[in-house]
Amino acid sequence: MRRNDYMPQKDADFDILQTNVYNAAQANASKWLIPQELVTALDVPRQRWSAAYAAYCVTASRTPAVTREKNDAGADYRAVLRTFIQGQIMHNSRVSDGERLAMGLPVYDRKPTQARPPETRTEMEIFFPQIMKHILHVRDSESKSAGKPAHVIGFEIWRRTGGDTEPAFEEMQFVELATRSPHTLEYTSADRGKMVWYATRWVNTRGEKGPWSEILSAIVP
């Protein structure tokens, strides 16, 4: 894969990436100084892809024509989206490395470094001083400091909501990349009283992940 080819080969992974990029661009166009018409130009190929991919995912009615349309729509949208990412996000100084990683895009060192995958674990504490909020305080397992290790850009937050037993890491869902501690997560009234299980891990500037933290839980107040 070329250095500048940000498009995953698997359709499901591409669909996640394009959703993340489109939603982030819509929400931050003014902050990132991206002309709204460039974001709007993604709508037609995106809608075609979404419809074609949704039809393809219905295996009972998947025909050769449905598969061809999914492939054609995907190829057209990938080309348009790649141009948009390259021109408006990857070289846009107003987009932070943390925001790129949160979208699922790579971050390249602008200067040669000796960055290595994070070797230390995150340690966290969960506080809930207000209803429908959890506040995660994360520190490094070695330094015991809230400061991030060298070349680390932030920490991933994974969770599972509900259940009485501790889940496996594979059963948890990615929430977001946090670039600083403490980090607040908000819930709705429907979540009150539910148990939420959390795990975190460091992420460096290359997108490489560190070892998992312990899994901790807290009830939504």
> How far is the C-alpha of 100 from the C-alpha of 102, rounded, in Å?
5
Model pLDDT, residue 52: 96
Model pLDDT, residue 145: 67
pLDDT single digits (tens) 140-191: 998 866 678 888 999 999 999 998 899 999 999 999 999 889 999 999 999 9
Residue 102's nearest CA partner among 38, 19, 159, 12 is: 19
Contact 217, 198 (CB under 8 A): yes
> How far is the C-alpha of 219 from the C-alpha of 211, rounded, in Å?
25
Model pLDDT, residue 3: 46
Model pLDDT, residue 6: 73
Mark 48-65 as b/e (b = at least 16 C-beta within 10 Å). Answer: bbeebbebbeeeeeeeee
Mean pLDDT of 113-120: 77
Contact 159, 173 (CB under 8 A): yes
Mean model confidence pLDDT for the chain: 90
Q: Which residue has the higher pLDDT, 106 or 187?
A: 187
- Residues with Cβ within 8 Å of residue 36, at least 6 apart in sequence: 29
What global pTM score does this model have?
0.53
Contact 166, 217 (CB under 8 A): yes
pLDDT band, very low/low/confident/very high, at 5 (cuts 50, 70, 90): low
Q: Per-residue pLDDT for 1 more than 50?
A: no
Contact 107, 197 (CB under 8 A): no
Mean pLDDT of 92-102: 91
Q: Per-residue pLDDT for 30 more than 80?
A: yes
- Give the sheet arrangement for strand 183-186, strand by strand: 122-127, 133-140, 183-186
Residues paired with 136 in a beta bridge: 126, 183
